[in-house]
Amino acid sequence: MPKDHERAAFSATRRSTSVGIGPRQMIARAIGGVALLVCMIVGGGGLYLLSSLPQLDGRIAVRGPMGEVRIARDADGVPLITAANDEDAAFGLGFAHAQDRLFQMELQRRYGAGRLAEIFGPQALATDRQMRVLGLYRAAEAEIPTLSPAVRRAVEAYAAGVNAFLATRRGALPPERSESFLKLTLRRGG
């Protein structure tokens, strides 16, 4: 008899634990899981955004300028560029613009070329058609061979500054940017 009694007690205990958790506990666990997931997404997004901010303090060693270029920021964040010559100043300006205005630069480049629909889709086609009819991008490319040597060096140094920022960038690019454009180049005309 003791064996039957033990078997019955074991069976009853087993049944009571196999009933599972109640509806309130399930809801509490689900809410806890969703809250944990939301915290992880928000935290990960925050870390991503923090890594996309440019380095504004310290030294960044880059190839390109002939001498030292200093980019200081005033209380309002406006860059103050100090360089030994015009090309180095243009390099610093390109670097600072890329730090602060990368997405704006990309949008303006695509706007002038009539290529906004590549980012914004069909709703930008009318603007793209208008800009292609105006031909501002083609006109700008046609002017490159006529630039004076000093202006051409300044434009090339500016582009080198933008590319230097992209090459030395640690962390994520700003959230509105992808790896789709990365290199600013000057096309040599005929």
- CA–CA dist 112, 140 (Å, integer): 9
Residue 122 within any structural domain of the chain:
yes
CATH code, domain carrying 126: 1.10.439.10
Both 44 and 126 in a single domain? no
pLDDT recorded at residue 91: 93
89 with 119, same domain: the answer is yes
pLDDT-derived band at 1 (thresholds 50, 70, 90) equals low
- Scanning 73-176, the segments in alpha helix (DSSP H) are 86-113, 117-120, 125-134, 136-143, 149-168
Pair 76, 41 in one domain: no
The dihedral through the CA atoms of 116, 120, 121, 127 has a sign that is: negative
Whole-model pTM: value is 0.66
96 vs 170: which has the higher pLDDT: 96
Check whether residue 101 and residue 157 sit in a common domain: yes
Compute the residue count for the chain. Answer: 190
Q: Do 89 and 146 lie in a common domain?
A: yes
Over the stretch 131-181, which tens digit does the pLDDT of each residue have? Answer: 999 999 999 999 989 999 999 999 999 999 998 888 887 766 665 554 444
Q: Which domain holds residue 140?
A: 70-168
First to last CA, the chain: 106
124 in helix, strand or coil?
Answer: helix
79 and 20, same domain (yes or no): no
What percentage of the chain carries pLDDT values higher than 90? 31
**Displacement of CA 99 from its chain's centroid (Å):** 10
Strands 79-82 and 70-73: antiparallel
Cβ density class 36-68: b for 16+ within 10 Å, e for less: eeeeeeeeeeeeeeeebebeeeeeeeeebbeee
Q: Is residue 179 part of a domain?
A: no
Count of structural domains within the chain: 2
Do the domain assignments include residue 173? no
Neighbouring CB atoms inside 10 A of 171's CB total: 14
Whether residue 64 is contained in a domain is answered as no
76 and 48 share one domain? no
**Same domain assignment for residues 141 and 105:** yes
Question: Do 44 and 100 belong together in one domain?
Answer: no
Average pLDDT of the segment spanning 10-17:
51
18 and 101 fall within a common domain: no
25 and 92 share a domain? no
11 found inside a domain? yes
pLDDT band for 22, please (50, 70, 90 cuts): confident
Residue 128 maps to a domain: yes
